[in-house]
Structure 1
Amino acid sequence: MQAADLIEVLQTVRVVPVIDPKSQADCLLAVDALVAGGATAIEITLRSDIAYDTFRAVRAAHPGIVLGAGSVMDSQTYEKAVSLGADFTISPGRCLTLEAYVAGKPVAHVPGVVTPTEIIAARQAGQTLLKFYPSEAAGGASALKDLGRIFPDVLMMPSGGIKEPMMPDYAALPGVLSVGGSWMYAEGGKHRPAPDVSKVMARSITAMRGAAQT
């Protein structure tokens, strides 16, 4: 999936659950409930050995969703993610050797930024779809509002500390393509019951879409 195709998908749903799997069974249950609530794009971080097998299982269970691989910071992890069926990869920061490696490849990679200097450098390298991380620690929607005035051509995928009540602030910003996090399926470090996951996911999508249409 190229960046333009990813943007088209995310413009519709505007919410990307981010899962750091600790249990394959729990992850699969969460994904089932998220998809039931309307999720069409999900990110699974590749931070542990269990994550790779879990990614493969999620891809097999839900071949129709857009599935991203998170915490991809080198070419080896990128290639592994692609082999597992990733539609895109994403990093918490910029990895210049990786960005050079993926140039022209069919699976999009989204670099991470947090400062104006990093955004300027990314734009100069032709990158205008970026992850903003850690969003809340870096100023959240307020910071993105200011950055959007300076970089109106950049689309951001903020994540990090975002909660459901914050949706309206993020949704109102034209430079925010989507928001990511775990609030839809987890609370207090524990997974929510499946019916609650679906309800929170649906509410979050509605909140983001509603602001985009006003």
Structure 2
Amino acid sequence: MKADELKNALEAVRVVPVIDPKCQDQCLSAVDALVAGGATTIEITLRSELAIDTLRACRLRHPDIILGAGSVMDPMTYDIAVEAGADFTISPGRCSDLESYTAGKNVAHVPGVVTPSEIIEARKSGQRLLKFYPSEAAGGASALKDLGRIFPDVMMMPSGGIKRSMLAGYSSLPGVLSVGGSWMYADGGEYLGPEEIREAMTSSIEEMRRL
């Protein structure tokens, strides 16, 4: 999936659950509920040994959703993620070797930024879709509002510390393509029940669609 295709897909939903799997069965059950609640894009972060296998299992179980691989920071991990079925990869920061390696490939890579200088350098490299991380620690919707005025041609995918109660601040920003986090499936590190997940996902999508 190219970056423009990812942008088009996210415009309709604007919410991306980000899952750091600790138990594959628990993760898959949460993904089932998220999809039932309207999720069309889900990110699996590659921070543990079971993450790639979980990504593969999600791909087999839900072949039609868009799957992202998170915390991808080098070409080798990118290739592993693509082989496992990732439609895009995303990083918490900028990795020049990785950006060069993925340029022109069919599976988009989304670099992470937090400062204006990083955004300027990313734009010089042709990047117009960027992750803003860690969003809340870096100023959240308030910071993105200011950055959006300076860089109106850049679309952001903020994540990091975002809670459901904060969505209204993000939803009105034209430079925010989507928001990512765990609020829609977990609370305090504990997974919610399937019905709670489904409801939280549906409500979050509705909130982000209000412009």
Range of TM-score over shorter length: over 0.9
Aligned ranges 1:127-166 → 2 under 5 Å: 127-166=127-166
Equivalence for 1:177 = 177
Q: Indicate the RMSD between aligned Cα atoms, in angstroms.
A: 0.4
Task: Please give the per-residue CA displacement for 1:114-154, whole angstroms capped at 9, x wherever unaligned.
Answer: 00000000000000100000000000000000000000000
Counterpart Cα distance in 1 of 2:138 and 2:201: 24
Gaps of 5+ in 2: none
What is the alpha-carbon distance in structure 2 between the residues aligned to residue 20 and residue 119 of structure 1? 26
Whole-Å separation in 2 of the counterparts to 1:29 and 1:145: 36
Distance in 2, Cα, partners of 1:22 & 1:37: 22
AA at the equivalent of 1:99: E
The answer to whether residue 114 in structure 2 is matched with residue 114 in structure 1 is: yes
Does the CA contact (< 8 Å) of 2:44 and 2:69 recur in 1? yes
Tell me, in whole angstroms, the C-alpha distance in 1 between the residues paired with 2:159 and 2:121.
20
Instruction: Tell me the CA shift for residue 190 of structure 1.
Output: 0.1
Structure 2 letter corresponding to 1:28: L
2:208 aligns to what? 208
Distance in 2, Cα, partners of 1:189 & 1:83: 29
CA–CA distance in 2 between the matches of 1:91 and 1:123?
16
1:95 partner amino acid: C
For 1:91 and 1:129, locate their aligned partners in 2 and report how far apart those are by CA, in whole Å: 12
Deviations 1:58-112 (A, max 9, x none): 1100000000000000000000000001000000000000000011111000000
User: C-alpha distance in 2, partners of 1:63/1:207?
Assistant: 26
**TM-score, with normalisation over the residues of structure 1?**
0.98
User: Which one-letter code corresponds to 1:103 in the other structure?
Assistant: A
Residue of structure 1 in register with 2:196 after alignment: 196
Ranges of 4+ aligned residues in structure 1 off by more than 4 Å: none
Pair 1:100 & 2:93 matched: no
Report deviation, 1:171: 0.3
* 1:57-96 to 2 correspondences below 5 Å: 57-96=57-96
- Residue number in structure 2 paired with 1:43: 43
**TM superposition score normalised by structure 2:** 0.99
